[in-house]
Amino acid sequence: MAIVVSDRPSGRLTEAWRFCVGTGRFELALRRDYQDSLALIQRDIGFRHIRGHGLLSDGVGIYQPYEYRGARQVRYGFGYVDQVVDAYLELGIRPFLELGFMPSALASGDQTVFWWQGNVTPPRSFAEWAELVRATVGHLVDRYGLDEVRTWPIEVWNEPNLKEFWRDADPEAYHHLYEVTAHAVKEVDAALQVGGPAISPGSDEWLVRFAEFVTDRSVPVDFVSRHAYTSGPAQHVPFGVHQTLQPAGHLLEQFAQPRQALAGSALAGLPVHITEFNSSYRPDNPIHDTAFHAAYLAPVLAHGGDLVDSFSYWTFSDMFEEVGVPTSLFHGGFGLLTHRQVKKPTYHLYAFLARMGDEILARGDDHLVTRDAGGRVSVLAWAPVDVTQPYPSPASGGAHRVQLSIPVGTAQTTSAAMVRSTVNEEAGNAWTAWAELGRPRSPRPAQLDTLRELAEPVRGHRSLPIVGGRVELDLTLSRHEVSLVEITAVADETPPWWDESRLLGHER
Amino acid sequence: MAIVVSDRPSGRLTEAWRFCVGTGRFELALRRDYQDSLALIQRDIGFRHIRGHGLLSDGVGIYQPYEYRGARQVRYGFGYVDQVVDAYLELGIRPFLELGFMPSALASGDQTVFWWQGNVTPPRSFAEWAELVRATVGHLVDRYGLDEVRTWPIEVWNEPNLKEFWRDADPEAYHHLYEVTAHAVKEVDAALQVGGPAISPGSDEWLVRFAEFVTDRSVPVDFVSRHAYTSGPAQHVPFGVHQTLQPAGHLLEQFAQPRQALAGSALAGLPVHITEFNSSYRPDNPIHDTAFHAAYLAPVLAHGGDLVDSFSYWTFSDMFEEVGVPTSLFHGGFGLLTHRQVKKPTYHLYAFLARMGDEILARGDDHLVTRDAGGRVSVLAWAPVDVTQPYPSPASGGAHRVQLSIPVGTAQTTSAAMVRSTVNEEAGNAWTAWAELGRPRSPRPAQLDTLRELAEPVRGHRSLPIVGGRVELDLTLSRHEVSLVEITAVADETPPWWDESRLLGHER
Amino acid sequence: MAIVVSDRPSGRLTEAWRFCVGTGRFELALRRDYQDSLALIQRDIGFRHIRGHGLLSDGVGIYQPYEYRGARQVRYGFGYVDQVVDAYLELGIRPFLELGFMPSALASGDQTVFWWQGNVTPPRSFAEWAELVRATVGHLVDRYGLDEVRTWPIEVWNEPNLKEFWRDADPEAYHHLYEVTAHAVKEVDAALQVGGPAISPGSDEWLVRFAEFVTDRSVPVDFVSRHAYTSGPAQHVPFGVHQTLQPAGHLLEQFAQPRQALAGSALAGLPVHITEFNSSYRPDNPIHDTAFHAAYLAPVLAHGGDLVDSFSYWTFSDMFEEVGVPTSLFHGGFGLLTHRQVKKPTYHLYAFLARMGDEILARGDDHLVTRDAGGRVSVLAWAPVDVTQPYPSPASGGAHRVQLSIPVGTAQTTSAAMVRSTVNEEAGNAWTAWAELGRPRSPRPAQLDTLRELAEPVRGHRSLPIVGGRVELDLTLSRHEVSLVEITAVADETPPWWDESRLLGHER
Amino acid sequence: MAIVVSDRPSGRLTEAWRFCVGTGRFELALRRDYQDSLALIQRDIGFRHIRGHGLLSDGVGIYQPYEYRGARQVRYGFGYVDQVVDAYLELGIRPFLELGFMPSALASGDQTVFWWQGNVTPPRSFAEWAELVRATVGHLVDRYGLDEVRTWPIEVWNEPNLKEFWRDADPEAYHHLYEVTAHAVKEVDAALQVGGPAISPGSDEWLVRFAEFVTDRSVPVDFVSRHAYTSGPAQHVPFGVHQTLQPAGHLLEQFAQPRQALAGSALAGLPVHITEFNSSYRPDNPIHDTAFHAAYLAPVLAHGGDLVDSFSYWTFSDMFEEVGVPTSLFHGGFGLLTHRQVKKPTYHLYAFLARMGDEILARGDDHLVTRDAGGRVSVLAWAPVDVTQPYPSPASGGAHRVQLSIPVGTAQTTSAAMVRSTVNEEAGNAWTAWAELGRPRSPRPAQLDTLRELAEPVRGHRSLPIVGGRVELDLTLSRHEVSLVEITAVADETPPWWDESRLLGHER
């Protein structure tokens, strides 16, 4: 039985799904492959902000102490920062600043995180830290203007609730850092947006304590942030891991948590940003490369905007390097794109959403129906996944059916043009194609070309009759499929003299 | 039963199929849409030469008489010529010069051909004509160098056997023109290549007489040329025609005719160029836009190179204007591309051929199998068309099957990666998609984007086992389908620890 | 004695000087060289609108009558129009529509103008003309939206006061055409802007009669338009003319004429557009290529905006063809650019103006001083020209001096950086360089590269002390020079340890 | 008195000057700014090879040991290598491979060099090192083909004679490394070119001992290499140094040393590559940014090719990071270009040389005269610098004069076109312009635009009479000037009717 989609919108598809996207560490943005990848992403998806680690780490070169005439001085080097932000703005994307990690010359210890050694200890001098924050934010305001920088959320540190990211995961030390930092930001301009505490899943109590702290001490806070992941413990193989996953609904539960936790508090009305989310938090889990992953996340993208102001996919590209330089093109990286711009299925999930309208006509466990200002109706349909068991073979019922009766066109229109774009285990699936090619670690140019071609969704098209202002859609989805169906009522310009039967080879 | 393809090449796929392509009149090459289209063509197909009418017509501005101090003088204006040839060479394509039509200021009459009014009368002064030829060819040699221009065939006039193209279709007048012109060319440089008579189908006797003429009078001739078309009389509708077609084999018969006719003559050993060919000779016959057309021409491309040195598809783009400015994006133009770069199925036939190797392993009525220097095997397969009746509906047997046993890989390789690219009534078929959109005459930008997306071949991929050094290919082709199948033996880099069953959602 | 420039703006530099620019006939915009040239122009100058002839002429292919079932019908072909307007909008420029000339199939006679044969006779049927106007404007509104098209002025015909452009220069016939056209435009949308009468100089009475006519019959009119030129009779040489010129002030007088003529009339408050202006009205007068021309027009650009809403330089490029295809790169064309993008001195005059601020600080016979929002002061200085006699040789006093005391910076700033960009008989003068190269008619690629290099302004730079909030500027201009001087107060970041004298080769 | 330049070439300008250029560490080549800079360099200069450190260092990710089933294994990651080499080849430049430094997981110690911490200790296992070399070179051969890689010189390590670059500067340890490495390279293919010892100045004895070692043990060696610098000890200021310099002739002496030292040895006939040269060896010496530097190096470029097969400017770009991330756009970096593509005077010295012909007509202390195949004569002239004292002010004689009588053209040609491109303290000097702007550390976009404009050479042009087959050139060079003068005989196409005196404003 087809679901009868109402002509009346039930809600709006907010921009939460594309408000922000994650990136590998700041200076990776200097790379050409990175910028080429981001250009593609922006053309097809169009994220609004981008957030990653390491703005203040040594590789960016901001904090440079020196001696002159016997006194210690600091010179700030903003050349790389400017190069990156100039590139971002050219590409139509804005920073979502994360202030961290610690410049080693300002650090109180030598604990580091990641292959690239981000220092995760508090500053030796909070006064110098405050000066560094003021100098950096102030420089950005000078160069890009106050109107611009006021639109960039500024988040203090990353996952201080984890020992790997903040020495001893010490909440008091974080609260002090937050307080000093928030004031330093506001000294540059009171209308800049600052927030935190950027916690990882599993430390829900941090949020409540953070709220108490900032309320008690009247510390400025413009938004709250946390992360969301659904993976279990890492089972290691060389250069990779496998992990169990919780159902995708757990992501939505994590999204909902801050609003629930802060209800009634002074922070209750603030914007909530999920500044990182993904299935697995590991940059070497092959699940990220699969069609399964797109189908797994489809309901999250369809529903997440009801719960938060943004949820930022971690990360847009496989260019990352937290566990080292990858040894293989596909290696389970977070990216929507591999190095060198091979699109993964989850890329298309995002690109599909970017082609949808903002009026929600219907939404369910396997579909989202929207309409845009021009009357085009878009259907995102997906085959729900089961994370608890292997997938049944198609012969035993792998196909999934979605039937919808969709309002389209006007009284005058009698047919609609339908375009269907499909990603599944074969279609738009460079990862399975790469497996068939023998999993080449550094594919040759001709293989890269093949992978890029096979990474494109398969597209089909048909004419559908409009009867009673509706078209009947009956979609069969294969294993792990995500399809976008675009339906447009047709204004027929066929001339009266056109006679298909006069065409050679016409269909009888 | 599968055809067993030999491992030993049976021949070479020569470059005859891409030695030359046709174009609308010379100055259309000044247009951006033209150059964008040609850039795409060159990237995907890579023709070697390009030939069209009108080099000497008024729009190019070469021949400009004036008076000075009471005497008639001629100034040659080569600005547009240089602009076009510079662009051609940048795009990796060379002129196949056609000397014509007549500058109106040099013409002996005012008969014109086409909407754009090419003058088709002999020169008032053969001496001035010879001077014009010498000046033009000499200028090209000065600018581009003798080594370069010696590679450009130079053809004298176009279809002088038709009254529309040469006043009274007078053979003696043409022979005189040819003689004067050939000598003028050789005066610039004896190693330049000159030829003719560029006749249309249906005047086979012209070739013999031309051979006699040049032999009798020792006129230089470096190649002979003719055209080939298979369409019947035009049945007009507004802004278009329908026509019957002869089977595609008639094209091959026309290709073969010059060698047969000239056997035993002094011209027997010369290169033969089919300087125009197509199904219909009309630029407003919708057949050019269809998948039927690609399937119809597939055997011609597969076999034509055995018969001639080149056969030049007339024309690469719909930018043409011989019957006026088109009123609709699709209008039955000759082009492999429409205006604004929407690819037609025949574009892909050429692009498929451009990806094949040059060793022919097998060739038949519905397939061509080649291998390239790297060992990749390519199969071009097509569903044969019947020009005499409408196509049976798929239910009654529209599908066509091609089974091939193909040698690939070495003793060590156990699997092959197969990529299939398909064009048929739905796949890679912007024309049927345009029909579904209501045949918009000047599509909006979003419609153009849709058409360009749907104009791409549908691509699939699979792993095939190599058994005994062979893969078994069993292709089912739908109505009017042309498919390219590329098969590569795989060097497997899968690490020993890879276990597909540990992947979530893996297939049981 | 230096002129002391006030710190208080005396007025604003309006956008009149770049509101519109002229172009060769409509379909030339399909060319790549045209679009490349316009892209350069838009990057360096940034015109807002573009106006040319021939939108409705045969080459654009809009009006296409045909017979079907015994009845005459018209099909409108908008493919080329859309291609051009799409390109314009991509390049950041909008049409200033000129409705004309007559499609030959709708014309009442066969009188044509120009080498490209624009038909200048009234329509056979005013009803069909009205339908053509509605269809064309309506199509543009459909494709580009009402908000967009309402910003495009729509002018009716071109120079109907000349017999060459309108049969018999018949004012009544023009008034009728205007009335029918204006109503047709307003039937599409009442807020579209329509105007006329687009007259050439020397028929001032037309404007008054036009005002009476539209007032008497309540015909819609949103702006009035005329042209301005200062050249005397053409003295012909082959492929060119020489002409005397009136002083540039005569252009300003012509600009002022419509407001004067219409004062007190019902049209008194309407916008006035000079829809064409130049020195010579001939596209083959070498004066257009010279530094003289830039210096001649400098005061017109500096002062014209006080008099009218726009004055449109005729034309941006030498791509033109009204008197045929040019036989030489430099040929006295109107263009700011030659074919293939060699910049002429007048190009730089415009590019200089585009870098100026919009606050006018001072203005005189040889200078314009402006300031922008960031505090940068720009000086345009020119050597006044004398049109009545040859230029004295430099030895006898060719140099011209401009001395200005200019307010810049704040109390804290002590130095200003000055950049001077110069065009004169040698600097930024591709035309004199081309003469030195032997006036090659179709320069070779290496010569084009040389010309493009030598076409760039010569740039110098200096540090100027700020004393009492002022810098003293003392400019010596050579023959026919135009210079742009940009002055910025400096925020000095030189570190305390910098010691110039430690640099090898430092100046003693 | 003018020097009379002979019409007979005295020698050829070999490609030694552009055979190779230096670069910052390998993975910097992943950056967009790097590739944009290199693209510019290749367009204007066209180096053949590029050499830098760090191919085998951790940041490139080649050497990745891991455990599997209890055993230590190594996986080679070539993704970044391929990305860089793909980019190089696209840009028309080939690697000059330097094998080093040591992957930390293979190192026998933890001594590092540079801010980016290249490990400079011998391998823990020479067998694993040999395997690493074979794997790396073998991979490159697989991907790029043997014909290609055979053209890439392969150098073993960098400056082993310095303790900073090789533990204890131990020659025996280096010889062992060289032997193992050279054999490993030759095992991949015997025709690959391997060489060393890549020593810095001041250790001339190393070369002799290296020759003895390889001769005694029959170790393969295809070329010898050393470096050349002329700077004295570093006098530090914050973020910079000053140094004295020896006269430029000392560079030529260093170039000559290997041939002299190896005369009579078994290595006497081998190619000699100066794989690094510059004035100062410090990446923070402002001398690199100056016009002085271009004038200082001009004679080295003019003469160096007589002495060696290549001399490689160290380095093409300021992107470098050996002493950290620069804090200022201009910071005394080695680059021909700053970050973000501001050209330094030395860039133009190279670009000038790239426009010269390969026949040497004359050469002296302040000039080089060449002719190309087309007859164009080019003069590189420079004002000799004195490194021992400050430059006299122009008033006391700063100008330098070069007078040359130059053969050009044929008996028929009567005039030559001369184009002069100039770089000096003002012209083409972004560094002095940057000083005037207040030395902004991270210039704003508008300042970068200004710097890029002012970094272009100033160009002038004149017509010179040819008398007796010669033009007389009398050049006055200002302080630290380098000028390129290009002289072409003119084929005059001026029409007979051209009369300059009819032009308005013509010069009397």
Q: Which residues of B touch C66 (CB under 8 A)?
A: 238-239
pLDDT value, residue B395: 53
For A296: left if phi > 0, alpha if psi spans -120 to 50, otherwise beta; the answer is alpha
D461/D476 Cα distance (integer angstroms): 15
| A68 interface with C at CB cutoff 8 Å | yes
User: Residue A261: in which H helix or E strand, if any?
Assistant: helix A249-262
Beta strands in B305-411 (DSSP E): 310-313, 359-363, 367-371, 377-382, 400-407
Partner residue opposite B242 with nearest CB, options A386, A459, A502? A502
Q: Which residues of D touch C461 (CB under 8 A)?
A: 426, 432-433, 436, 454
Q: Which chains have 3+ CB pairs within 8 A of D?
A: A, B, C
| A79 interface with D at CB cutoff 8 Å | yes
Window 365-394 of D: residues touching C by CB (8 A cutoff) are 385-387, 390-393
- The CATH number that domain A3-9+358-489 falls under is 2.60.40.1500
> What would the pLDDT profile of D396-416 be if each residue is shown by its tens digit?
567 899 999 999 988 789 999
Helix axes B79-90, B126-144, angle to 10 degrees: 40
The SS3 assignment for A294 reads helix
> What would the pLDDT profile of D125-181 be if each residue is shown by its tens digit?
999 999 999 999 999 999 999 999 999 999 999 999 999 999 999 999 999 999 999
Q: How far is B492 from chain A (nearest CA, A)?
A: 4
Test A326 with D79 for CB contact under 8 angstroms: yes
Mean pLDDT of D337-353: 98
Q: DSSP label at B313?
A: E
Q: Which residues of B touch D496 (CB under 8 A)?
A: 68
| C68 interface with A at CB cutoff 8 Å | yes
Test D237 with C461 for CB contact under 8 angstroms: no
C212/C205 Cα distance (integer angstroms): 11
**What's the token pair of residue C118?**
């624009």
Distance of CA A369 to the CA centre of its chain: 21
Residue A444 has pLDDT above 60, yes or no: yes
Which among C397, C406, C380, C382 has a CA at the least distance from the CA of C464? C406
The number of residues in chain D equals 508
> What would the pLDDT profile of D262-312 be if each residue is shown by its tens digit?
999 999 999 999 999 999 999 999 999 999 999 999 999 999 999 999 999
| A496 interface with C at CB cutoff 8 Å | yes
Q: Which residues of C touch A496 (CB under 8 A)?
A: 68
For the full predicted model, state whether its pTM sits above 0.95: yes
**What's the token pair of residue B178?**
């040819």
The SS3 assignment for B449 reads helix
Contact D61, D77 (CB under 8 A): yes
Q: Which residues of B touch C322 (CB under 8 A)?
A: none
Which among B348, B367, B369, B349 has a CA at the least distance from the CA of B359? B369
Partner residue opposite C327 with nearest CB, options B68, B77, B83? B77
Window 207-266 of B: residues touching C by CB (8 A cutoff) are 238-239
Which among C77, C59, C55 has a CA at the least distance from the CA of B442? C77
Contact A315, A334 (CB under 8 A): yes
pLDDT value, residue B394: 55
> What would the pLDDT profile of B30-68 be if each residue is shown by its tens digit?
999 999 999 999 999 999 999 999 999 999 999 999 999
| A44 interface with B at CB cutoff 8 Å | no
> What would the pLDDT profile of D227-249 be if each residue is shown by its tens digit?
999 999 999 999 999 999 999 99
Beta strand B49-52 pairing with B94-95: parallel
Test C61 with B441 for CB contact under 8 angstroms: no
Of all residues in chain A, the percent with pLDDT exceeding 70 is: 98
Mean pLDDT of A131-141: 98
User: Residue B22: in which H helix or E strand, if any?
Assistant: strand B20-23
Q: Which CATH superfamily is domain D14-354 in?
A: Glycosidases (3.20.20.80)
Active-site annotation of A, residues: 159, 276
Partner residue opposite A327 with nearest CB, options D34, D77, D328? D77
Of A320-329, A498-507, D214-223, the one with minimum mean pLDDT is A498-507
pLDDT value, residue C459: 98
How many CA atoms within 13 Å lie on the side-chain side of B85? 24
Q: Which residue of B has its CA nearest to C330?
A: B79
Give the count of Cβ contacts less than 8 A between chain B and D: 4
Q: Which residue of C has its CA nearest to D237?
A: C497
B204 φ/ψ angles, rounded to the nearest 5 degrees: -60, -30
Burial of A329 (0-12, 13-18, 19+ CB in 10 A): buried
**Annotated catalytic, D128?**
no
Test C461 with D507 for CB contact under 8 angstroms: no
Burial of A212 (0-12, 13-18, 19+ CB in 10 A): middle
Contact A466, A415 (CB under 8 A): yes
Mean pLDDT of C131-148: 98
Which among B85, B6, B100 has a CA at the least distance from the CA of B50? B85
Q: How far is B508 from chain A (nearest CA, A)?
A: 6
Interface test with A, best of D73, D114, D144, D441 (most A CBs within 10 A): D441
Beta strands in D249-376 (DSSP E): 272-277, 310-313, 359-363, 367-371
Asked if the peptide bond before residue D315 counts as cis, ω within 30 degrees of 0, the response is yes
Q: Which chains have 3+ CB pairs within 8 A of B?
A: A, C, D
The single residue of D276, D322, D425, D481 carrying the catalytic annotation is D276
pLDDT value, residue B411: 79
> What would the pLDDT profile of D26-53 be if each residue is shown by its tens digit?
999 999 999 999 999 999 999 999 999 9
| C31 interface with B at CB cutoff 8 Å | yes
Residue A77 has pLDDT above 70, yes or no: yes
> What would the pLDDT profile of B314-336 be if each residue is shown by its tens digit?
999 999 999 999 999 999 999 99
Partner residue opposite A287 with nearest CB, options B418, B462, B504? B504
> What would the pLDDT profile of B394-442 be if each residue is shown by its tens digit?
555 578 999 999 999 887 899 999 999 999 999 999 999 999 999 999 9
pLDDT value, residue D457: 98
Contact A422, A428 (CB under 8 A): yes
Partner residue opposite A239 with nearest CB, options D66, D327, D442? D66
A53/A60 Cα distance (integer angstroms): 11
D52 φ/ψ angles, rounded to the nearest 5 degrees: -155, 175
> What would the pLDDT profile of B299-316 be if each residue is shown by its tens digit?
999 999 999 999 999 999
Residue C353 has pLDDT above 70, yes or no: yes
C340 φ/ψ angles, rounded to the nearest 5 degrees: 65, 20
Test A78 with D239 for CB contact under 8 angstroms: no
Q: Give the bridge partners for B378, in sequence order.
A: B370, B486
Mean pLDDT of A223-252: 96
C222/D440 Cα distance (integer angstroms): 51
| C498 interface with A at CB cutoff 8 Å | no
Q: How far is C171 from chain A (nearest CA, A)?
A: 40
User: Residue B256: in which H helix or E strand, if any?
Assistant: helix B249-262
Q: Which residues of A touch D33 (CB under 8 A)?
A: 30, 83
Mean pLDDT of B167-180: 98
Residue A396 has pLDDT above 70, yes or no: no
Residue A397 has pLDDT above 70, yes or no: no
Window 425-484 of D: residues touching C by CB (8 A cutoff) are 425-427, 432-433, 435-441, 450, 453-454, 456, 458-463, 479-480
The single residue of B155, B159, B322, B481 carrying the catalytic annotation is B159
Q: Which chains have 3+ CB pairs within 8 A of A?
A: B, C, D
Residue A206 has pLDDT above 90, yes or no: yes
User: Mean pLDDT across chain C, nearest whole number?
Assistant: 96
Which among C367, C359, C355, C478 has a CA at the least distance from the CA of C419? C355
Burial B14-50 (b: 16+ CB within 10 A, else e): bebbbbbbbbbbbbbbbbbbbbebbbbbbebbebebb
| A145 interface with D at CB cutoff 8 Å | no
Tell me the domain boundaries of chain C: 3-9+358-489, 14-354
Interface test with D, best of A114, A239, A327, A341 (most D CBs within 10 A): A327
Partner residue opposite B438 with nearest CB, options A439, A453, A491? A491
The SS3 assignment for A21 reads strand
Residue C176 has pLDDT above 60, yes or no: yes
The single residue of B276, B322, B425, B481 carrying the catalytic annotation is B276
B310 φ/ψ angles, rounded to the nearest 5 degrees: -165, 155
Mean pLDDT of D318-339: 98
